Chains A and B, each alone.
Chain A
């Protein structure tokens, strides 16, 4: 078993090494895109089928979750949050398919996801309150907290990465070890538990992402309102 901390490229495209996680990610992307196109083609405003009803139910739950967590309109964040959840969920469950490795069990994938969350926080924060407004969020609640806020914005990104990587990698390790020791049927309960863990980790990842983005939005709005109040007085 290769260590998840080290990545072995399957092949190279020029100077770019393509690892197993990347290939699996491409596969997941293809499946998700194919299913999405298939579903989109059969969408109807009339009486929906089971698949469409399930998708609409998922959309309703996702919008409700975003609305409750971020206290804002879910439409600007729906695609990012929803796609992250679906990708992480499918990626976590990929480990259950024989011969495949979960991309999220590779540190580089988790780092990429955490990095995207970090960038999205900046993008949504700037879109909400402008560059100045976003930068002023680091002054909250006082200028003394600027270093801690800067460190916090980085460490929470690392925490996202490490949490997801640790849980998924641990599950994959445990299943691999049990499978090597106890044969075929024994790992099944652990695989079911790994499915649950994968779903929970995907949920936790996107919920934390929503909380971090909402924090940037809230602080931006609060800073803007404070500035407006100060200038008017």
Chain B
């Protein structure tokens, strides 16, 4: 065995040259391509991370906005609830007032109707009573003593008149009587009245059975009554007012 130094040297040089050439033409471009791809992937990953961060920020902002919207919604709902409660209370109060007013009005109307009904019944009762009294007085007939008393009352009423009204009687008047009087009785009555009035005025006698009993002096603006019709009318008015 002998050591072939030339071959060892040549092979060493060959391998060194091969290492240098492959380093230049194979490993370097290959590493560059891989590094480029790694850089591209790293940039894409960085971009993705940035996008993810932005999405996280947007998500946080969205969550915050959503929380704000929820709070605003709750606030609006609470305000609407309170407003509805206030309006409901106002409506209920108003309805209660209206009901109370209607109730009061109805009660007043019922009282008024009841009063009117009662007054109407009372008037009917008074009218009925007066009618009954009128019929009873009419059925009993005229009494001379009653006529005399009623004429005395007429004279007293004329005497009690104010002066200017009594003076107005001097021009004449209508003297109604419930019954026909004789000439003498008329003259006697005219004289009595003339004494009170001052002179004997022109008197036009009429018979008015509606007076039932008594007399009535009638002018265009004055009536002096002393008869049962007027008495019954006063009684009716008194009872009606009561």
Contacts and interface: CB of A to CB of B under 8 A. Distances in A.
Interface of A: 5-7, 15-19, 21-22, 25-26, 29, 32-33, 36-37, 39-40, 43-45, 48, 52, 55-56, 59-60, 75, 78-80, 82-84, 86-87, 103, 106, 108-109, 111-113, 115-116
A47 B25 CA distance: 21
Main secondary structure of the interface of B (DSSP, over half): helix
Contacts of B15: 25, 83-84, 87, 112-113, 116
24 contacts: A17-B6, A21-B11, A25-B11, A25-B15, A29-B14, A32-B22, A33-B21, A37-B26, A39-B30, A40-B25, A43-B33, A44-B33, A45-B40, A56-B33, A59-B34, A60-B34, A75-B31, A78-B27, A78-B31, A82-B22, A86-B22, A87-B18, A108-B11, A109-B11
A59 B31 contact: yes
A55 to B, nearest CB: 6
B19 to A, nearest CB: 4
Interface of B: 1-4, 6-12, 14-19, 21-23, 25-27, 29-31, 33-34, 36-37, 40
Contacts of B2: 6
A139 B9 CA distance: 31
A16 B4 CA distance: 10
Given A5-B1, A44-B33, A55-B30, A79 B22 contact: yes
Given A18-B10, A19-B4, A83-B18, A33 B25 contact: yes
A45 B23 CA distance: 19
B136 to A, nearest CB: 139
Given A29-B18, A45-B40, A116-B15, A83 B23 contact: yes
A112 B31 contact: no
Contact of A79 (B7, B8, B23): B23
Nearest to B19: A83
Main secondary structure of the interface of A (DSSP, over half): helix
Contacts of B33: 43-45, 48, 52, 56
Given A15-B6, A79-B19, A108-B3, 4 more contacts: A22-B14, A40-B25, A56-B34, A109-B7
A17 B21 CA distance: 24
Contacts of B14: 22, 25-26, 29, 112
Given A112-B12, A112-B15, A7 B22 contact: no
B25 A108 contact: no
Nearest to B22: A83
Nearest to B37: A45
A26 B21 CA distance: 13
Given A21-B7, A106-B7, A116 B12 contact: yes
A40 B25 CA distance: 7
B27 A79 contact: yes
B10 A40 contact: no
B18 A32 contact: yes
